[in-house]
Structure 1
């Protein structure tokens, strides 16, 4: 057992090993080695007059093998980093070697490459303090020098094509930021833009592309790349996230490495093969080596990684294991390498939160590299798959409330129990204000932590309150599980919940928190099992709750004898229920939701009885993305 624990914990350490399916996207060995017996291009130094700076400035020019003044060529402007000059790429990146080799393999469109000095000032040397304010400012000034001086000079002196679809700009680090700033800021000048490990000089995404639709229309290729160990990854990722959110097609290329020329030479190798030729945008999502570590990973864990097309790479170290699988609803066999590291890449995984386990020689365990969550009746790993439209539970610069964990003694169940409680922003400072309360229940196999952790309740409410879409409220997340003898959805279990909420939870909250009392200030909601609890306790106590929310739930259609008493009560008290409730809000995850058919049958009975309700669907099945969206919408209805 001790040996097993040791190799399970080894998964916490980063270990890089080849993954053949994705690593074909890396430059092959020898791509940057000079080769004899092939045609070679030529590197020249030129001097051009700069009205922007007021002096003549230098640049290097690469002309391709077979260069002829009788032909016209597209142009790539290739920019250096903050500590370099026009010779940095030539000295450290050897673009002429990389490009010569690609030409010899027939992989490039013939092009001229211009390597300028991106520090537009009279003394544009990299010597001295490279972070001096005037030198940093000169990188921004280069935009004017590039557009008004360098490009006109190149187009006057060289046989080049002079339209936007035949101009590209790309660069590394500071030059990557310049490329994004200048390229995306001048879509009438450049159709091909590449940012390699872009530095913090990169403008914020909304400044880069205030009009995403225009960019999508005009850009031929937008390339964003970065090494997975680069501390500047956040610059590239925030740009990628904005582009994805706004439907701007682009390549987000993540590769092994840090902030160095090994990465940037590989970027040039990949990027140069794509420009000035037809581009298959449908393949963009697969054009990467690595993914981004999941937000649900523990600190510093590199895996699992999420690829742009929502496939997931899993890795764990278990050298003595005979068989390892990932159980993500579907089981994926993992493959072991010579170092004892097991790897697997899934198909595209649907949006939102998913439980998963590793199965090592038949034993399901939580992945040591992942945060764990109480779900499926035990602690399990979880992975969050981002998607367009998840902004409503993003962490934003707004006032934030708190999640508090409180122990209380339950007279109803004769024991100590626990609550998670969300208090809104300003609760501790606005000491005269009283708040309405939403009592929010988890599903089967989960507990009171579910809505706080998997459900992102605090972020959803923080954002809604900041946007004035929801009233400030307290949310109480109680444990809906009880003793072994009354588990499940039977009458005893549901009665135990009703007693708990009425006799223990509400009295505790109203005695210890500044809450507004009365049914108009109470709402009860829940998902799946919690939805049945809401139906049972809420419908029977409409004098206590004005709002009921039933998410992915319904009285079970295949056990009519169990719920006949509930329907009888509703039939006999339909007028009271309709008069007392301001909202009976019922939602489902569409036809793929396992509770869908039960719910439809239940709603048919409600219609027969004349019970008033509001119904909505959100696609996604019986999953947390659906329930987060349910809370987002229900919270905007209650207490208004």
Structure 2
């Protein structure tokens, strides 16, 4: 039996087929457009996130042109805190015995420390009767200067920096007579030990590499540590670019200002600079003391004496883009607490390459 299909029925089927084809094409276009919009939105969101992430990178502020007190908020804990560690190493005694002794130092690692990054480093030497915990405190009991460092880094005052605070040998009698030996120990024993473990600009711990990376290394100290700092300049100018002697001249025979000793010892610093082969822009000294510190005048007069050697030293009251020698008198006595603004202002001028 044959079934007859009317032409009108065929026409309806064709139209219906065309309708469904057009419908599905239109639906696919809408879906594709929606998908494309969603992708663009995702890309934009990712770009925004990248932008926000970039905004979180702290831009380092320009070197200051004036000295100032430590912001009161810096004395409190920062949101991003660095870490204090006790570091053990071996050192050779500088007396006749030359025996090897076990020593400790306190190390500050900045927040977010990463071995893949390179860090500037400063070695801070304490004064007579103190120890490796005097500046920063211990891992269990940090001191105010640790908070200051954290806040300086968090607020872009300085780049993230490693700080090392060594100590002297307890059983040396009258260690003042052996401060040259302490500078040798820092260069020969402490720097290789620390910078062999933590990431600095030294590619390895050879003496040649320590010299090559000197632009990223500083040394400072308070009282006897200040004396050590001056002596490091005279003895190891090839290993440090920046120096921060606080509340102490280079001589140590008696307390207070001794013009005779100063006139004899200060010129040896200029002589060391002249013989080093370095230009004035290759080294910088930031010295400081307190107005009621009994070593203030003595420290100041070292700087005054160095002004007499313009080929080696150019005095400035701003920062090291204008010279390589500074001295500031702050309010304070011969106490560690009063050295915090010295270090705050000195560090803000260091490592500006």
Residues 34 and 143 from structure 1, CA distance in 2 versus in 1: closer, same or farther, beyond 3 angstroms?
same
RMSD: 2.3
Give CA-to-partner distance per residue, 1:310-367, whole Å, 9 cap, x none: xxxxxxxxxxxxxxxxxxxxxxxxxxxxxxxxxxxxxxxxxxxxxxxxxxxxxxxxxx
Counterpart residue number, 1:127: none
1:176 Cα offset (Å): 0.8
- Other-structure match for 1:34: 77
5+ unaligned residues in a row in structure 1: which ranges? Answer: 1-21, 125-131, 279-640
Distance 1:31 1:251 in 2: 24
Q: Does residue 313 of structure 2 align to residue 226 of structure 1?
A: no
In the other structure, the counterpart of 1:75 is: 121
Residues 212 and 246 in structure 1, CA contact (< 8 A), matched pair in contact too:
no
Report the CA distance between 1:104 and its aligned residue: 1.3
Quick one: structure 1 residues 251 and 238, their matched pair in 2 at CA, closer, same or farther if it must change by over 3 Å? same
- Kindly tell me: are residues 269 and 275 of structure 1, through their superposed partners in 2, closer, same or farther at Cα, counting changes over 3 Å? same
The alpha carbon displacement at 1:230 in A equals 1.4
CA distance in 2, matches of 1:101, 1:26: 14
Structure 2: any 5+ residue segments left out of the alignment?
1-64, 94-98, 203-212, 253-261, 315-324
1:21-170 equivalences under 5 Å are 25-35=68-78, 38-52=79-93, 54-91=100-137, 94-117=144-167, 119-120=168-169, 123=171, 132-133=173-174, 135-162=175-202, 163-170=213-220
- CA displacement 1:160-184 (0-9 Å, x = unmatched): 1121101100111110110111134
Q: Deviations over 1:35-80 (max 9, x none)?
A: 4xx1110000011111345111101110001100111111100111
Which residue pairs with 1:254 in the alignment? 329
Moved more, 50-59 or 222-231: 50-59
Among 318, 338, 345, the alignment partner of 1:263 is 338
Q: Higher helix proportion, which one?
A: 2
* Deviation per residue, 1:517-541 (Å, 9 max, x gap): xxxxxxxxxxxxxxxxxxxxxxxxx
**Larger fraction in strand:** 1
Residue 485 of structure 1 aligns with which residue? none
Other structure's SS at 1:147 match: helix
Partner Cα distance (2:279, 2:227) in 1: 19
Mapped to 2, the partners of 1:199 and 1:217 lie a distance apart of 21
Deviations 1:254-296 (A, max 9, x none): 1122212232011111111111114xxxxxxxxxxxxxxxxxx
Matching of residues 302-317 of structure 1 within 5 Å: none
Determine helix, strand or coil for the equivalent of 2:248: coil
- Structure 2 CA distance for partners of 1:33 and 1:184, relative to 1, 3 Å: farther
User: How far 1:23 sits from its partner (Å)?
Assistant: 8.6
Equivalent position SS for 1:114: strand
State the TM-score, normalizing by the size of structure 1: 0.36
The secondary structure found in structure 1 opposite 2:307 is: helix
Instruction: Tell me the SS of whatever aligns to 2:122.
Output: strand
Counterparts of 1:236-635 in structure 2, within 5 Å, are 236-247=299-310, 248-249=313-314, 250-278=325-353
SS at match of 1:85: coil
**What is the CA–CA distance in structure 1 between the aligned matches of 2:247 and 2:236, rounded to whole Å?**
21
**Number of aligned residue pairs:** 245
Distance 1:176 1:238 in 2: 14
Change (3 A) 1:93 1:193: farther
Distance in 1 between residues matched to 2:149 and 2:299, nearest whole Å: 25
CA distance in 1, matches of 2:345, 2:191: 24
Which is greater in Rg? 2
- Give 3-state SS (helix, strand or coil) of 1:90's partner: coil
Q: Give 1:191's aligned residue.
A: 241
Q: Work out whether residues 249 and 302 of structure 2, in 8 Å CA contact, stay in contact via their aligned partners in 1.
A: no
Match of 2:271 in 1: 210
Cα 1:216–1:234 shift into 2, 3 Å? farther
**Distance in 2 between residues matched to 1:138 and 1:97, nearest whole Å:** 33
Deviation of 1:207 (Å): 2.1
1:24: Cα distance to partner?
5.9
Structure 2 CA distance for aligned equivalents of residues 148 and 23 of structure 1: 36
Alignment of 1:171 onto 2:234: no
After superposition, give the CA deviation of every residue in 1:169-221 in whole Å (9 maximum; x if it has no partner): 01111101101111342111010001111256467201223145456535442
Give the Cα separation in 1 of the matches to 2:243 and 2:66: 23
